[in-house]
Amino acid sequence: MAYAIVILFIVAYLIGTFPSAVMVAKSRGIDITTFGSGNPGASNIARALGTKFGVLVFALDAGKGVVAVILGFVIADRPEAYVCAAAALLGHMFPVQRRFKGGKGIATGGGVLLATHIITGLVSILVWLAVMKLTRKASVASIAVVPLVPILFVLEGTPLWEILTIVALGVLVEIRHVSNIKRLIAGKEHNVGQA
């Protein structure tokens, strides 16, 4: 069983490394790592190529989380699905083929939520959109929505181990947003649609 979990982790990690933003940007003649914030994620793609391409990358990145979780459920059970979720997030954030420089995990994490707790996932996406519209900053929406998820888990009556797992994953996502937090404090953070 231990070997199976290791194999699941590796496969889910590789799923997470699929370079959605890089490939979409490259197809339009842009190196996304040199544009705007340099982050290979949906928000930066939206700045570079427009909203429809940002939505496309968000969907592709969320799909990585969904596929990884489904893999865990098909092969084993809920704990293994979360192992796959963590692996996909790590793959997205720290892809080995791009020297561990990846995205920040919001879209992939959203996919994980949709596959494990669909109502929480949908509510989180709606809150993210609302905060983003209000502040015009995708980073503020991302930073704000992460602590909301464990609160929703508690309200759902989710088992403690799942709550602790999602808190740990959320901490990882927030750590990936440290540079955004610094720019927000300095008043230099990009608005949505601003290069």
Residue 123's pLDDT is 97
Q: Which residues contact 76 (CB under 8 A, 6 or more apart)?
A: 4, 5, 8
* Tens of pLDDT, residues 125-144: 999 999 999 999 999 999 99
| Burial of 5 from C-beta contacts in 10 A (0-12 / 13-18 / 19+) | middle
pTM of structure: 0.92
Q: What is the pLDDT of residue 145?
A: 97
pLDDT per residue, tens digit, the chain (195 aa), is 678 889 999 999 999 999 999 999 999 999 999 988 788 999 899 989 999 999 999 999 999 999 999 999 999 899 999 999 999 999 999 999 999 999 999 999 999 999 999 999 999 999 999 999 999 999 999 999 999 999 999 999 999 999 999 999 999 999 999 999 999 999 888 787 655
